[in-house]
Amino acid sequence: MFFNSLDFALFLPIVFICYWFLTAKNLKLQNCLLIVSSYVFYGWWDYRFLLLILFSTIVDYSVGIFLNRQSNTRNRKLLLWTSIFVNLGLLGFFKYCNFFIHNFVKAFSFFGVELEESTLAIILPVGISFYTFQTLSYTIDVYRKKLKPTTDFIAFTAFVSFFPQLVAGPIERATNLLPQFYQNRKFNYSNAVDGLRQILWGLFKKMVIADGCAEYANLIFNNASDYSGSTLILGALFFTFQIYGDFSGYSDIAIGTSRLFGFNLMQNFAFPYFSRDIAEFWRRWHISLSTWFRDYVYIPLGGSRGSVKIKIRNIFIIFIVSGFWHGANWTFIAWGALNAIYFLPLLLLKHNRKNMDIVAKGSYFPSLKAALQIVFTFSLTVVAWVFFRAENISRAWSYLTNMFSHNIVSIPDVIPWPTVFVLLFFIGIEWLGRDNQYALEKFAFKASRIIRWMFYLLLVILIFLSNGKEQAFIYFQF
């Protein structure tokens, strides 16, 4: 079920009413309702994959229980590796199996040994990369004794399958989300209204910005050889906003929906395109994944401590693994490696923690220096997104070479003015709301309610006008 579908528009109020009116007095019943709703939500795509979630849930729940009973380090490690093996095994099989077969055959053919390639007909279960990482965080935290293992199977199942963030995050830590399933939730008016506002903003980002940009990004990327350099730049810009609108829009809807049910999820995007350097960008982009990799991969590898060689190695590992997490294609690995190259100078010069606060805090305009830094960082990310979007490395490379080689200073062949104006409107709102969790959180709060509602209704109308066919969220494929 997509968040931007009519099915969800019916599903959400039904679950909301049942949750607060039928099951509010019994926590267990409320959690059970969340499980049923989550399984319905997920099963809407393909009910067969519910077994995978259930399997992953049972394995990690059992590993947690056994970890608590074991004091022997060797046995504890064995249990941890069991969970890692099962979760990453599922992910590896469904997501990377064909990629490895294909590249294995290619590698052999490079050395003159011709093998017959036979890939498997595997469908990638929606959201597998997200929920496997979420359950893994539970087992690792229990192993590290940061978290007490739960004995409440219903709460744990609800935690793994919680529908707002099941298929595309935020990848919640068990330490944050799981305890919320133990506590009685009380309805809070301002939280719920805030949730609805965030859902509205998320839908606007997805349906107006991302889908609007997608139309032209696809057109330009699919016919890249026909267009001038300036048009290709425009195409890359459209994709840059498409991916942001798409993914951060999903996160906003997920966080907003959770608020309606009395849950608080972590912020996943903090206005990344206003970053002044790449390190800041990565602190603001897909925060739940970046911090996951930081805590469970980067720091165990030694982080930024040790020799320069170790630092470089760790940075490349973390970015390449992060890229590979997005998809089984060399383009994602190249995207990760390119970001590592962007990041390294900052780390080596110890400038990576220079810009911790939001840009131009408390003022309407940034300084010239900050503005130039933003433009420079943004340009770097636009170039990197070309690898992310392209079908393969050679296409990405030819896109970039064409982008910088012919007619770079010319009027683009395609200028969809309505989309450009909506994009400028969006950037303006995001800039004004950059101090908050999401742009609309306190937007126009000083204005009267009528003005505020008129603004919200304008968003509703723009969403309505952008509604064509339901477009799947890009991050579902990851």
Partner 1 sequence: MKKFLFTTLVFSCLGVFCITFLYIGINWATDKTASFESVGSPTYIVLGHSHPACAFNDSLIDNFKNFSESGESYFYTYIKIKKLLEQRPSIQTVFVEFDNYQIKNHMNDWIWTDEHLAYRMSRYSPFMDINESNLIMAKNPKGFLTYSSLSTKKNLFNLFYGYHNYSYKIGGYEQIDRILNDSLINTQLNDSTITNEIDSLSWYSIDYLDKILQFCNSMKKNVFLIRCPMHPESNGIKNESTFQNLLSERFTNTEFLDFYKYPVPNNGYGDLEHLNYYGACNFSIWFDELLKSDILSQQNKQMRIDIQIQNLDRN
State the residues that interact with partner 1 by CB under 8 A: 6, 20, 187, 189, 192-193, 196, 418, 453, 456-457, 460-461, 464-470
Determine whether 406 is an active site residue.
no
The two three-digit tokens of residue 242, written as one number:
């498409």
- d(C-alpha 210, C-alpha 170), whole Å: 18
The nearest distance, CB 418 to partner 1, in angstroms, is 8
- How far apart, in Å, are the Cα atoms of 215 and each of 335, 414, 468? 23, 12, 11
106 burial level (CB within 10 Å; 0-12, 13-18, 19+): exposed
- Please tell me what DSSP assigns to residue 126: T
- d(C-alpha 161, C-alpha 173), whole Å: 13
SS3 453: helix
The nearest distance, CB 439 to partner 1, in angstroms, is 19
Nearer to partner 1, 115 or 461 (CB): 461
The nearest distance, CB 465 to partner 1, in angstroms, is 5
SS3 331: helix
Secondary structure element (H or E) that encloses residue 449, with its range: helix 449-466
Q: What angle do CA 440, 374, 271 make, to 5 degrees?
A: 25
The nearest distance, CB 189 to partner 1, in angstroms, is 5
CB 160 within 8 A of CB 53: yes
Tell which residue, 193, 72, 75, has the closest CA to residue 452: 193
Nearer to partner 1, 251 or 466 (CB): 466
The nearest distance, CB 455 to partner 1, in angstroms, is 12
The nearest distance, CB 214 to partner 1, in angstroms, is 15
Residue whose entry in the numeric block shows the structure tokens 């220079």: 354
The nearest distance, CB 181 to partner 1, in angstroms, is 21
Nearer to partner 1, 29 or 297 (CB): 29
Nearer to partner 1, 104 or 187 (CB): 187
Tell which residue, 216, 262, 260, has the closest CA to residue 239: 216
Nearer to partner 1, 193 or 424 (CB): 193
- d(C-alpha 234, C-alpha 58), whole Å: 48
Nearer to partner 1, 196 or 414 (CB): 196
The nearest distance, CB 124 to partner 1, in angstroms, is 25
- d(C-alpha 256, C-alpha 242), whole Å: 20
Nearer to partner 1, 74 or 186 (CB): 186
Give me the half-sphere count of Cα atoms (radius 13 Å) on the Cβ side of residue 325: 23
Nearer to partner 1, 24 or 371 (CB): 24
Which of 102, 326, 351, 406 does the annotation list as catalytic?
326
CB 141 within 8 A of CB 150: no
292 burial level (CB within 10 Å; 0-12, 13-18, 19+): buried
- d(C-alpha 164, C-alpha 170), whole Å: 9
- How far apart, in Å, are the Cα atoms of 458 and each of 263, 422, 452? 28, 12, 10
- d(C-alpha 290, C-alpha 282), whole Å: 7
- How far apart, in Å, are the Cα atoms of 221 and each of 50, 93, 213, 227, 334? 35, 30, 12, 9, 18
Active site residues per annotation: 326
